[in-house]
Structure 1
Amino acid sequence: MGSQEVLGQAARLASSGLLLQVVFRLITFVLNAFILRFLSKEIVGVVNVRLTLLYSTTLFLAREAFRRACLSGSTQRDWSQTLNLLWLTAPLGVFWSLFLGWVWLQLLEVPDPNVAPHYAAGVVLFGLSAVVELLGEPLWFLAQAHMFVKLKVIAESLSVILKSVLTVFLVLWLPHWGLYIFSLAQLFYTTVLVLCYVIYFTKLLGSSESTKLQTLPVSRITDLLPNITRNGAFINWKEAKLTWSFFKQSFLKQILTEGVYDIVNNLGSLVARLIFQPIEESFYVFFAKVLEREKDATLQKQEDVAVAAAVLESLLKLALLSGLTITVFGFAYSQLALDIYGGAMLSSGSGPVLLRSYCLYVLLLAINGVTECFTFAAMSKEEVDRYNFVMLALSSSFLVLSYLLTRWCGSVGFILANCFNMGIRITQSLCFIHRYYRRSPHRPLAGLRLSPVLLGAFALSGGVTAVSEVFLCCERGWPARLAHIALGAFCLGATLGTAFLTETKLVHFLRTQLGVPRRIEKTT
C-alpha cells in the first residue's frame, strides 16, 4: 500500500472520528440536560467525574501501550504473535480494574449513599465495562490496522445510541436505581461495541468476499483467538519490549497530566477532544505505517519520508491555528461561557481565571498531540526508553513546581504546572523531529511558523474582544452580551479569512485530504 493511499485512509479515519465526536458530544449534552430534570446533579457528577475516570484510566493503562507498539509494526509480521500480545490487555484490564476499584472504594472519599446510592456497585460495573471492552481489543486492532472506517462508524454510533436509549428508559421508569442506571448503561455500551466487531468479522471471514481481501492476515474468526505459532513463540518479544517502553511512557503521562478540575476541564478541553484526539489517533496509524522504526530518514523510501514530512507540517499548522484560536478568543469569552453554563456561581468566582489559563494549556495540548503522534510512531525502542528517562527525571521538578505554584496562585498554579510539563514534552518531540529530518531536505517544523499578517490578525482580534468584554460583558444584560458575541464572531470570521488567504498549503491539504468526500469501499 502506497503512502498516498495510507494518507487518504488516515484522513477518512480522522474525519469520521471528528464527526463521531461532534455527534456524541451533542447526544451527551442533550442526555445530561434531560437527566438533570429527573436525577440530582450529584449523581451526574459522580458518574461524569469519578466513575468515568475509573473506566478511562483502566482502559488507558491496560491498552494504550499495546496499541502504540502493535500499530507501528510492519505488515510483514507474524500476526498470530501480535494478536496473542493484544490478548494480554484483558488480564491487565482485570488487574487495573481491581486495583483502581480498591483505590476508588478504600482511599477516595465515598459519596453519601443518600445522595449517590449504589456507588460500590457502580465502581464494580464500570470496572467490568472496561474489561469487556478490552476483550474486543484484537478485533479493534485488526480493523484499525486495515482502516475499516465504516465498521468504526457503525459500531460506535450504534453503541452510543443504544446506551442513550437505555439510559433514558431507566431514568424514566426506575429513577430510584441511582448509579445502577449509568453503570448498567455503560456495561451495555461496551457489550454492544464488542459484539459489533465480533459479528462483523464473523460474517466477513465466513463469506466468499473475504477471499478478495488479500491484506487480511486471518481467514476465519477462530484465527483471532490466542494460539501457539509455528515457531513456538507465543508473542513477538521485540513488540513486547516496545510495548513495555510505551507502557512506562503512558504511565508517566497519566500521572503527570491528570487533574485539571471538573467543569473547567470539561469546557476547556471540549474542543481539544473534538478536534485533536481523532486527528492524533488516525495519523499515528499513518506515520506508523509509512515510516520504519530503527531507520534514519535518509535510509527509508524517500517518497514516504517526503509525504510524512508534508503531512506533519500541515498537522502542526492546523494544531497551531486551532490552539491559537481557542487561546485568543477563549480569554475574552471564558466568563461568558461559564455564566451561560452555570450562572453567576461559576462566572463570578475563580472559574474565568481557571478557564483562561486552561485555554493556554489547550494550545500546548494541540501542538503536543501532533508532535508526539509523529515522535512515538518513528522512535526506536531505545529512543522511547531515553524519552521515558527524561520524563521521569523531570517528574520531581514538575511535582515541586505544582506544589509551589498551587500555594502561590491556587488552582491556576496546577494548570500552569501542567503547561510547563507540556512545554517540556513538546521540546523533547521537536528536538527528535529536528534530528530525524536534519540530513534530509524536508523541514516539517516550518508548520509552526505563521505569516506576520495572520499573527497581526490574531493580536488585533484579541485586543478588540478583550475591550469588548470589559464594556459589554457580563453584568449588562443579554443585549450587551449578544453584541459581545456578534463582535467576537466578526473577529473570528476575519481571522479565519486571513488564515484562508495566507496559509494556502494548509488549505490545499484540508481540501484534498479532509474536505472532499470519498467513497468508502464495501469492505471497510
Structure 2
Amino acid sequence: MGSRDDLRETTRLASSSALLQILFRLITFGLNAFTLRYVSKDIIGLVNVRLMLLYTTVVFLAREAFRRACLSGSARRNWTKTFNLLWLTVPLGVCWSVLLGWIWLDILEVPDKNAVPYYKFGVIAFGVSAVVELLGEPFWVLAQVHLFVRLKVIAESLSVISKCILTVFLVILYPHWGLYIFSLAQLLYTSVLVLCYVTYFMKFLGSPDAIKKSFPVAQITSVLPSFEQDEAFVNWKEARLTWSFFKQSFLKQVLTEGERYVMTFLNVLNFGDQGVYDIVNNLGSLTARFIFLPVEESFYVYFAKVLERGKDVKLQKQDDISMAAAVLESLLKLMLLVGLTITVFGYAYSQLLLDLYGGSMLSSGSGPSLLRCYSFYVLLLALNGVTECFTFASMCKEEVDRYNFVMLALSFIFLCMSYFLTYWKGSIGFILANCFNMGIRIAHSIHYIYRYFEESPHRPLKGLLVSPLLILVFVISGVATGISEVFLCCDKGWMARLIHIAVGALCFIATLTSTFFTETKLIHFVRTHFLSRYTKEGQK
C-alpha cells in the first residue's frame, strides 16, 4: 500500500472515528443529564473522577507504550513476536490494578457509606474492567494496523450502547444500588468491546476474504502467545521502543489526567464539586474528543507508516516526505482554525450552553468562567494533538528517551501549579495549569518539526499562519457575540436567547465563508481526503 493509499485510509479512519466519537459523547451527555435526576452529584463525581481515573490509569500505563511501538512499521512483520509483546499488557495490567486498587481502598479517603454506598465493590469492578479490556489489545492493534474501520465503529458502538442501556435500566429500577449501577455497566462495556474484536477475527481469519487479501495471520490461535525454538520471544527492537515509550507514558498520563490526580490525592474539591467540574470539563472537551483525538490517533498511524523512524529526511523517500509535509501543513491549519473558532464563540456562549444543559446548578457560580477558560485551552489541545502525533511518529528511540526528561520536568511543574492555582482560583486553576503545560509541549514539538524539515524544501509550519482577513473576521465575531451575550443572555427570556443564538449563527457563517475564500489549499485538502468518501458513498 503506497503513501497515498495510506493517507486515504487514514482520513477515512479519522473521519469515521470522529463521527463515532460524536455519537458516543451525545449518548454520554444525555445519560449524564438523565442520571443527575436520579443519583446524587457525589456519586457522579466519585464515578467520573476517582473510579474512572483508576480505570484509565491502569489501561494507559499497561498498553499505551505497547500501542505506540507496535503501530510503527509495516503491516508485513513477524506478527507472532508482536503478539507476544502485546500479551504482556495483561499481566502488567493485573499488577497495576492490584497496586492502584490497594491505594484507592486503603490510602485515599473513603467516602461516606450513606452518601456513596458500595465503594469497595466499585474499585474492584473498575480495576477488573481495565484488565478485561487489555485482553483485546492484540486484536485491536491487528485491526488498527490494517485499518479495519468498520470493526472499530461496530465494536465501540455496541459496547457504549450496551453500557448506556444497562445504566438507564438500573438507575430507573434500582437507584439505591449506588456504585453497583456504574460498576456493572463498566464491566459490560469492556466485555462487549473485547468480545466484538475476538468474534470478528474468529470469523475473518482463514476465510476466503482473508486468503484473497493475503492477510498475514491465518488462524485465531496465531494471535495467542507462542514460543518458537531458536528465536527470540519478542521483537527486541519493538521491545526497546516500548520501554522508551513506557517511561514516557507515566509522565504523559500525569499531564493528561493531572487535575484528577490532584483532586483525588490532595482533596482540593469535595465529591460534589468534582462532579460539577467533571461535567463542565466534558462539555469543554467536546471538540477535543470529537475531532482532535480521532485525528491524532489516525494520523499517528499514517506518519508512522510513511516515515522511517529516526532516519534523516534526506535519506527517506522524497515522495513520502513531500506527502507527509503537505498533510502536516494542512492538518495544522485545520486544527488551528477549529481551535480558534471554539475559542472565539465559546467565550460568548458558555453560560447559555451550561444553562441549557444543567440549569442554574451549572450556569451559576464558576461554571461559565471555567468553560470560557476551557475554550482557550481547546485551541492549545488542537495544536498539540497534531504536532505531537508527528513528533512521536518520527522520533528515534534516543530522542524519545531525551523527551522523557522534558516530560518529567513538565509533570512536576504541572502538579505544583495545579495545587497552588486551585487554592488561588478554584477549579479554574486546573485549566490554567493545563494551558501552561500544553504551551510548553507545543513549543517543543514545533521546534522538533522545524529542525526535522530544516534541510528540506518543505515548510509545513506555514500551516500556523492565518490570513489577515480571517483574523479580522474572528475579531469582529468575538466582539459581536460578546456584546450580544451582555444584553441578551441569559436571564432575558427565550426570545432574547434566540436572538443571541442568531447573532452567533451569522458570525459563524461569516467565518466559514471567509475561510472558504482565503484558505483554498485547506479546503482542497478537506474535500479530497475527508469529504470525498461521503460524496462517493452518496453517489452510490
Query: Taking structure 2 as the reference length, what is the TM-score of the superposition?
Result: 0.92
Shift, 1:227, TM fit: 1.1
Q: Contact (CA 8 Å) 2:450, 2:461: kept in 1 or not?
A: yes
Distance 1:422 1:37, change over 3 A: closer
Gaps of 5+ in 2: 260-276
Could you tell me how far apart the structure 2 residues matched to 1:311 and 1:131 are?
36
SS at match of 1:372: helix
Q: Contact (CA 8 Å) 1:81, 1:229: kept in 2 or not?
A: no
Q: Contact (CA 8 Å) 2:351, 2:363: kept in 1 or not?
A: yes
Query: Taking structure 1 as the reference length, what is the TM-score of the superposition?
Result: 0.95
Look up the equivalent residue of 2:533 and give its one-letter code: P
Distance 1:167 1:520, change over 3 A: farther
1:513 aligns with 2:518: no
Q: Give a deviation string over 1:396-415, Cα, whole Å, max 9, x none.
A: 44444445544544433332
Q: Contact (CA 8 Å) 1:150, 1:520: kept in 2 or not?
A: no
Which residue in the other structure is 2:133 paired with?
133
Q: How does 1:179-218 map to 2 (within 5 A)?
A: 179-214=179-214, 216-218=215-217
From 374, 391, 400, the equivalent of 1:358 is 374
Distance 1:157 1:384, change over 3 A: same
Which residue in the other structure is 2:439 paired with?
423
Distance 1:222 1:518, change over 3 A: farther
Which residue in the other structure is 2:22 paired with?
22
Could you tell me how far apart the structure 2 residues matched to 1:193 and 1:345 are?
35
From 299, 317, 340, the equivalent of 1:283 is 299
Q: Give a deviation string over 1:326-385, Cα, whole Å, max 9, x none.
A: 111111112222232333343332222222211111111110000001000000000111
Which residue in the other structure is 1:64 paired with?
64
Could you tell me how far apart the structure 2 residues matched to 1:520 and 1:248 are?
44
Q: Contact (CA 8 Å) 1:83, 1:224: kept in 2 or not?
A: yes
Shift, 1:3, TM fit: 0.4
Which residue in the other structure is 1:486 paired with?
502
Shift, 1:92, TM fit: 1.2
Q: Give a deviation string over 1:45-74, Cα, whole Å, max 9, x none.
A: 332222222212211111111111110123
SS at match of 1:292: coil
Which residue in the other structure is 1:226 paired with?
225
Gaps of 5+ in 1: none
Could you tell me how far apart the structure 2 residues matched to 1:395 and 1:192 are?
35
Q: Contact (CA 8 Å) 1:202, 1:220: kept in 2 or not?
A: yes
Q: Contact (CA 8 Å) 1:149, 1:520: kept in 2 or not?
A: no
Distance 1:409 1:28, change over 3 A: closer
Which residue in the other structure is 1:244 paired with?
243
SS at match of 2:311: coil
Shift, 1:520, TM fit: 11
From 367, 380, 384, the equivalent of 2:383 is 367
Greater displacement, 392-401 / 509-518: 392-401
Tell me the matched-pair count: 520
Q: Give a deviation string over 1:167-202, Cα, whole Å, max 9, x none.
A: 233334333332212211211121111111111111
In percent, how many aligned pairs have the same letter? 70
Could you tell me how far apart the structure 1 residues matched to 2:8 and 2:392 are?
21
Which residue in the other structure is 2:49 paired with?
49
SS at match of 2:329: helix
SS at match of 1:226: coil
SS at match of 1:516: helix
1:151 aligns with 2:190: no
Could you tell me how far apart the structure 2 residues matched to 1:396 and 1:196 are?
40
Could you tell me how far apart the structure 2 residues matched to 1:195 and 1:520 are?
32
Q: Contact (CA 8 Å) 1:368, 1:426: kept in 2 or not?
A: yes
From 345, 349, 356, the equivalent of 1:333 is 349
Look up the equivalent residue of 2:14 and give its one-letter code: A
Which residue in the other structure is 1:3 paired with?
3
Which residue in the other structure is 1:89 paired with?
89
Could you tell me how far apart the structure 2 residues matched to 1:307 and 1:103 are?
48
Q: How does 1:251-266 map to 2 (within 5 A)?
A: 251-260=250-259, 261-266=277-282
Could you tell me how far apart the structure 2 residues matched to 1:35 and 1:355 are?
22
Distance 1:30 1:390, change over 3 A: closer
Q: Contact (CA 8 Å) 2:204, 2:210: kept in 1 or not?
A: yes
Could you tell me how far apart the structure 2 residues matched to 1:286 and 1:163 are?
31
Look up the equivalent residue of 1:356 and give its one-letter code: R
Greater displacement, 340-349 / 138-147: 340-349
Could you tell me how far apart the structure 2 residues matched to 1:199 and 1:262 are?
35
Distance 1:488 1:171, change over 3 A: same
Q: Contact (CA 8 Å) 1:24, 1:160: kept in 2 or not?
A: yes
From 358, 371, 394, the equivalent of 1:378 is 394
Look up the equivalent residue of 1:220 and give its one-letter code: Q
Q: Contact (CA 8 Å) 1:163, 1:188: kept in 2 or not?
A: yes
Which residue in the other structure is 2:234 paired with?
235
Shift, 1:149, TM fit: 0.9
1:439 aligns with 2:455: yes
Distance 1:202 1:94, change over 3 A: same
SS at match of 2:111: coil
Which residue in the other structure is 1:80 paired with?
80
Could you tell me how far apart the structure 1 residues matched to 2:140 and 2:364 are?
45
Could you tell me how far apart the structure 1 residues matched to 2:350 and 2:535 are?
40
Which residue in the other structure is 1:499 paired with?
515
Greater displacement, 36-45 / 273-282: 36-45
SS at match of 1:441: coil
Could you tell me how far apart the structure 2 residues matched to 1:353 and 1:296 are?
46
Could you tell me how far apart the structure 1 residues matched to 2:487 and 2:169 are?
46
Look up the equivalent residue of 1:300 and give its one-letter code: Q
SS at match of 1:276: helix
Alignment RMSD (CA, Å): 2.0
Could you tell me how far apart the structure 2 residues matched to 1:403 and 1:38 are?
32
Look up the equivalent residue of 2:520 and give its one-letter code: T
Greater displacement, 320-329 / 230-239: 230-239
Could you tell me how far apart the structure 2 residues matched to 1:424 and 1:36 are?
37
Distance 1:519 1:500, change over 3 A: closer
Shift, 1:256, TM fit: 2.6
Distance 1:411 1:199, change over 3 A: closer
